[in-house]
Structure 1
Amino acid sequence: MSDQTAAVRIRFVLVGTQHPGNMGAAARALKTMGLARLVLVAPEKPLDEEAFRRSAGAEDVLGDAPVVATLAEAVADCTLVLGCTARARRVQLEELLPAVAAARLADKAGEGAEVALVFGRERTGLTNEELQLCHAAVHIPSDPAFSSLNLAAAVQVLAYEVRMRLLQATPVPALPSADGGAREQPASHEQMESFFGQLGQTLDEIDFHKGRAPDSAMRKLRRLFLRAEPSEQEVRLLRGILADAQRMAKLAR
């Protein structure tokens, strides 16, 4: 798969952007690196004259950017979602340097998957709930004495690293499955979130937590299953098991 084909599968997602000009500058940062997929999640203000002025030649990237209500909607069809964050959070995620994150995104896109890199609000970044939707975190190792990085500058850093990886990329052959057939399609973000919802319900119905708060167990289970990268067929199998567990729990009650 060519670098250009992989590039169209990589989307940059801006969540809750507070200044329209930053959305325009981010669009320009993407276009300079040969990227064009920008998604806007619940920006505080709509695109305006300043946004298009700061896009400076990338008006097409900015104008084509869909605006959606939630991060879950923005990444529903993705199989890899990385969240760019400047600070440690309660959500325990693997932390990646920009070059490593770019390699994962480009390589997964080269295999035919949809992938996303997510950026949070200028002042507060991504919430814990939003980071929970990510497979790993990306941290730009800026100077701790002056670590504040403009949103568009952060986008430029990651866009550059993605471009460098795409320029190095070679076609990735399809890997066979364990039984020798074609490799199964990875489960999408939306399918995984539906699975996690059913998993949480099932654990409640079988009284797995025994009165303990479920948050810690669910965080660990999320990390386990996201790390495993199950296929669509495997998720269907797991959900079938959960459905039977729910049915048996109902009969027991």
Structure 2
Amino acid sequence: MGDLKQASLLQQIKIVLCQTSHPGNIGAAARAMKTMGLQQLVLVQPKEFPSQEALARSSGALDILDNAQVVSSLQEAVEDCRLVIGTSSRSRTLPWPMVEPREIKNIIEKEPSALPMAIVFGRESSGLLNEELQLCHYHVNIPANPDYMSLNLAAAVQVICYECRLLALQQESSLHSGAEVDSEADDSERKATIQQTEGLYQHLENVMIETGFFDPQEPKLLPARLHRLLAKAQLTEAEVNILRGFLASMNKHIKYHTVNKESGEL
């Protein structure tokens, strides 16, 4: 029973690599995942995949590569996830919740309904873009030697996957002691997926444009600040539905007054 629980957790964690330049790093990342029991690898616009070099560097983790999903954007990669953690060497533009790898355990324990989740790794040379980091609830930083912080992509994946495995092993131990997370919780109280949260953001942005509050030609930091606000809130599905219902009522109100104004009734 413990093995099933461990598999359940690890199977709900995606490792997402964005625009990986060197196919060997994809293979090495797959190897790192398999040694820790993770299975879901998602590749966002890899420069070269499939690749013989990736196969060679995987050292037998062929099943991870064979089942790897290739997508065109980070949003597509994580749209079904309820928790997204992006690797980042520093805060970009705006301060964002920053954690160390060991704190991932605390985050999942605090919000057990925030699964499935994704841990996102950026390009070898430049990491994640600001707009990609905005899709993340947290940014994770590996506290490497400040005098030499050149951590290889696969090595970073190994560090994070190790922490995920420790959490899975801890949950297995908890099962033996009789402690188990309630899996029958009301779906509406589950954390919203990225797709649901982004739908809310787009709805909110449209209303702000209609009211003249937001000018998309001069966005400044408003989109980033709103994404940070939604990420920090970690809304449930029910809360997203409430807010979208309110925004829909605003749309109707705006449309009603616009029609009456045009017809001269106001």
Please indicate, yes or no, whether the TM-score normalized by the shorter chain is above 0.5: yes
Distance 1:94 1:196, change over 3 A: same
- Residue 183 of structure 1 deviates from its aligned partner by 6.5
Which residue is 1:151 aligned to? 153
Which residue is 2:201 aligned to? 196
Q: Say if 1:175 and 1:182, in contact at 8 Å, map to a contact too.
A: no
Which residue is 1:81 aligned to? 84
Correspondence 1:1-253 to 2 at 5 A: 2-105=5-108, 108=111, 111=113, 113-169=115-171, 170=174, 171-174=179-182, 184-209=189-214, 213-253=218-258
Distance 1:94 1:238 in 2: 23
Distance 1:77 1:59, change over 3 A: same
Q: Say if 1:28 and 1:55, in contact at 8 Å, map to a contact too.
A: yes
Letter in 2 for 1:100: E
Structure 1 window deviating more from structure 2 (243-252 vs 199-208): it is 243-252
Please, what is the CA RMSD of the aligned residues? 2.4
Q: Say if 2:82 and 2:116, in contact at 8 Å, map to a contact too.
A: yes
Which residue is 2:262 aligned to? none
Distance 1:91 1:134 in 2: 13
Percent sequence identity is 41
Distance 1:102 1:12, change over 3 A: farther
Q: Number of aligned pairs?
A: 249
SS at match of 1:98: coil
- Residue 107 of structure 1 deviates from its aligned partner by 6.4
Distance 1:16 1:41 in 2: 6
1:81-118 deviation digits (Å, cap 9, x = unpaired): 0000123311431110011024424765x547210000
Using the size of structure 1 for normalisation, the TM-score is 0.90
Distance 1:70 1:211 in 2: 22
Letter in 2 for 1:20: P
Using the size of structure 2 for normalisation, the TM-score is 0.85
Distance 1:105 1:121, change over 3 A: farther
Structure 2 runs not aligned, ≥5 long:
259-266
SS at match of 2:150: coil
Distance 2:108 2:50 in 1: 28
Letter in 1 for 2:228: R
Structure 1 window deviating more from structure 2 (69-78 vs 208-217): it is 208-217
Distance 2:180 2:257 in 1: 50
Q: Say if 2:32 and 2:154, in contact at 8 Å, map to a contact too.
A: yes
- Residue 129 of structure 1 deviates from its aligned partner by 0.8
Distance 1:192 1:211, change over 3 A: closer
1:129-178 deviation digits (Å, cap 9, x = unpaired): 1001111100011111110110000000101111112111235433998x
- Name the larger-Rg structure: 2
